[in-house]
Amino acid sequence: MSTVFLNGEFLPSDQARVSVMDRGFLFGDGVYEVIPAYGGHLFRLLPHLQRLTDSLRAVRIPDPYTETQWSGILEELIGENPGTDQSVYLQVTRGVMDRRDHAFPLGLEPTVFAMSNPIPDPDPALAERGIAAISLDDIRWQSCHIKAITLLPNVLLRQQAVEAGAAEAILIRDGHATEGAASNLFIVRDGTLITPPKGPLLLPGITRDLVIELAAGHGVPHRENAIGEAELRTADEVWLTSSTKEIMPVTTLDGRPVGDGRPGPLYRRMHGLYREYKQAVREGRAG
């Protein structure tokens, strides 16, 4: 039985209870984070906590803890569930009301929940064969930079991809590719790595930032630029990134090969740099 954190207490997951009147349950009124831990070390903790603060502020939920308190809670949670690499999920909802009302009173006490689950080792076949993706209309709202628990569009889009035999959906809005259903998008054209700039139409991914940082630190040409649908379809390489899936090379898009249909040379380079970075986190040499 894994140990979870709920409203100030660590307890076995089967004993954790939340009210049915919680606004997270009734409205999806809350925000979340997913933070990997390698060898017991949280990966990019401060940027994750900064994004949590930004999400909370955007939806007007008071941050229940300071940065130091958050770090303490998450480190204790990892210590409670030792062993493999882990992914910490945390969510903060607006709290519990005595009746259902879209409008909320200020000053509710937020509900805070966190759990930690093992991350399976990345499948070596992924780096060899890559994944299939399909493109779908981005049916989400205009505030995709907020990491809201309200994920019904993302759930339906991912499901549609899976039912089409693909691993992920790449989302298209007004002729531009924004990101994946639960991942950020990169393409490679003529040796340059391109990713859409941050803004309200995509999540500012922590993995995305690290990939840009690694590119900058190792002389990989890169730029942040909108990606038109035609550019996506004729890219030499397409990658999707997320904390739990790291860098995924997309080798077929809508059933057609991307480039030569195999993970490309820039992917292999970045995959190596990413693995080195992860090892540094594991050994406590990087955060």
Give the shortest CB-180-to-ligand PDD separation in angstroms. 6
Give the shortest CB-84-to-ligand PDD separation in angstroms. 17
- Name the DSSP class of 183: B
d(CA 206, CA 242): 8
Residues 156-185 that bind ligand PDD (CB under 6 A): 179, 182-184
| Out of 91, 93, 241, 252, the residue judged to bind ligand PDD by CB under 6 A | 241
C-alpha dist (Å) from residue 230 to 55, 63, 233, 235 = 32, 42, 5, 9
- SS3 state of residue 104: coil
d(CA 204, CA 216): 18
Active site residue 147: yes
Give the shortest CB-120-to-ligand PDD separation in angstroms. 14
Q: Which is closer to ligand PDD, CB of 93 or CB of 154?
A: 154
Nearest to 240 by CA among 255, 253, 256: 253
Nearest to 246 by CA among 79, 113, 130: 130
- # residues near ligand PDD by CB under 6 A: 15
Contact status: 242 vs ligand PDD (CB under 6 A): yes
Q: Give the interface segment with ligand PDD, choosing from 6-14, 99-107, 198-206, 278-286 (CB under 6 A).
A: 198-206
Give the shortest CB-103-to-ligand PDD separation in angstroms. 27
CA atoms within 13 A on the CB side of 260: 5
Contact status: 203 vs ligand PDD (CB under 6 A): yes
Task: From the candidates 147, 198, 245, 278, give the one annotated as an active-site residue.
Answer: 147
Place of tokens 């937020």: 110
Q: Give the interface segment with ligand PDD, choosing from 127-135, 222-230, 241-249, 279-287 (CB under 6 A).
A: 241-249
Residues 10-49 that bind ligand PDD (CB under 6 A): 34
Q: Is the dihedral of CA 165, 270, 140, 95 positive or negative?
A: positive
| Out of 7, 53, 71, 244, the residue judged to bind ligand PDD by CB under 6 A | 244
Contact status: 207 vs ligand PDD (CB under 6 A): yes
Q: Which is closer to ligand PDD, CB of 203 or CB of 248?
A: 203
Alpha helical stretches, state H, the chain = 23-27, 45-59, 67-80, 124-129, 152-163, 206-217, 229-233, 265-282
Q: Give the interface segment with ligand PDD, choosing from 19-27, 109-117, 201-209, 264-272 (CB under 6 A).
A: 201-209
Q: Which is closer to ligand PDD, CB of 179 or CB of 237?
A: 179
Nearest to 28 by CA among 61, 57, 1: 61
d(CA 249, CA 205): 17
Q: Which is closer to ligand PDD, CB of 73 or CB of 248?
A: 248
Spatial contact of 103 and 40, defined as CB atoms under 8 Å apart: no
Catalytic amino acids?
147
Binding site for ligand PDD (CB under 6 A): 34, 154, 179, 182-184, 203, 205-208, 241-244
